[in-house]
Amino acid sequence: MAGSTTEHAPDYTAILGISDEAARLRALDAYLSTRSYLQGFALSQADVDVFRQLSGPPADPQLFHVARWFRHVTAILGSPPAARPPCGLQASRGRRAQPTWSPPAGSEPCQLRLYNSLTRRKDVFVPQDGRRVTWYCCGPTVYDASHMGHARSYISFDILRRVLRDYFKFDVFYCMNITDIDDKVKGVLRIKF
């Protein structure tokens, strides 16, 4: 577990000693606000022990860090049983699962807004054909060895395509052009996701 147990155990020891759950959650939130618990995060035994003491996610919306940490650890270990003392269970070494995200309760669904150069303001995006979106994109011009600029066009446009498909629930037809100037031939790669 890459030595993370010894780094974080002393801070967690103080948190584990707090008997009142509300006070324990506040102390855990203050501690987690100083720690990166998502990017590159590996569960330590101390994480497992603190998680097993919690009865559920915090109800207080001010405990933002604990809520995110709790969802993250739940995605890896599953839901915690009833609160109990530290148990010595081994933390998962498997692939980290990203917790699912959902908008806050009572909020309106998001709408995609794009800058309209005709009206010079951001307008709500409305596809011409229901939920179907057709998208043509200029891809790389390949004339030499591959480099990071080639990967950037694939990655950044794929991220945008996934946002349109997975978050806004559009049916996206994505078409990318790849130009090979050595042969003076313009090839079109059409990809439907």
Tens digit of pLDDT for each residue in 151-165? 888 888 889 999 998
pLDDT value for 153: 82
Give the model confidence (pLDDT) of 27-37 as tens digits.
888 887 777 65
Better pLDDT: 123 or 21? 123
- Structural domain contains residue 20: yes
**Whether pTM exceeds 0.75:** no
- Structural domain contains residue 187: no
- Structural domain contains residue 44: yes
Domain count, the chain: 2
Structural domain including 153 reads 113-176
In whole angstroms, give the CA distance from residue 163 to residue 168: 7
Examine the domain organization and report whether 18 and 68 are in the same domain. yes
Examine the domain organization and report whether 16 and 70 are in the same domain. yes
- Structural domain contains residue 132: yes
Q: Is the pLDDT of residue 150 over 70?
A: yes
Looking at 31, 62, 77, which one is the last position of a domain?
77
Looking at 62, 77, 92, which one is the last position of a domain?
77
Query: CA angle, corner 164, sides to 147 and 113, nearest 5?
Result: 105
Mean pLDDT, range 74-101, rounded to an integer? 59
Mean pLDDT, range 127-148, rounded to an integer? 83
Q: How many CA atoms lie within 13 A of 77 on its CB side?
A: 23
If one counts every other C-beta atom within 10 angstroms of the C-beta of residue 127, the result is: 15
CA-to-CA separations, 8 to 1, 28, 32, 163, in angstroms, rounded: 12, 12, 11, 35
Examine the domain organization and report whether 117 and 170 are in the same domain. yes
- Structural domain contains residue 146: yes
In whole angstroms, give the CA distance from residue 65 to residue 25: 10
Q: Is the pLDDT of residue 126 over 80?
A: yes
Helix H or strand E encompassing 46: helix 45-53
| Lookup: tokens for 12 | 């967690």
pLDDT value for 94: 55
Looking at 77, 101, 121, which one is the last position of a domain?
77
If one counts every other C-beta atom within 10 angstroms of the C-beta of residue 135, the result is: 14
